[in-house]
Amino acid sequence: MATWNSRGLRGSTLEEFINRTNEKYLENGLALIQKVPTPITPINIDKQTRHITLAYFDQRSTVDYIGAVQGIPVCFDAKECNTDTFPLQNIHEHQVKFMEDFEKQGGIAFFLVSFTARDEFYYLRLAELLKFWNRAKEGGRKSFRREELDPSFFLSVERGVLVPYLTGLQRDLDMRD
């Protein structure tokens, strides 16, 4: 079981960038997106500072963020990768199932992938992820490489928005029409 010590801060920079992006989108009336808290059970608490020093995750989380963009329900998960190869083991079966069910209800589900070594962000459509996911289930590669991705879904900083995923969302919507 994962612990707070081992995984608690992994992805915190990406999450901070996304949180700031969400604040900017809210200020501009473009989206209302909330971070989904991961329920934990504290094991050790420092009595002086009252900080949790060790905890276990109570249950499997589904996605990191959920909300609405101009009336469209969206959910997404943030993932980081420090190489050009993203291991699919970083995505869990229950997350994929939740996202598939979310889209069946008329929502849009996606991943935001940060290629940290390149300082790049990628909007990974669920349909694109499923292509790699199914390939792995059929005995193929258990990862995907950066060069396999659609270049039009790499995100560039726009007018002070650190992770402009609404640009990716618009492209995603255009492809569905």
48 marked among binding-site residues: no
77 is in an annotated binding site: yes
119 annotated among ligand-binding-site residues: no
At residue 18's C-alpha, the angle toward residues 16 and 22, to 5°, is 115
Please give the DSSP secondary-structure letter assigned to residue 48.
T
Secondary structure E strands in 21-142: 31-35, 40-45, 52-57, 65-69, 72-81, 85-87, 108-115, 120-125
**Residue 58 counted as an annotated binding residue:** no
Q: Which residue numbers belong to the known binding site for Mg(2+)? A: 62, 64, 77, 95
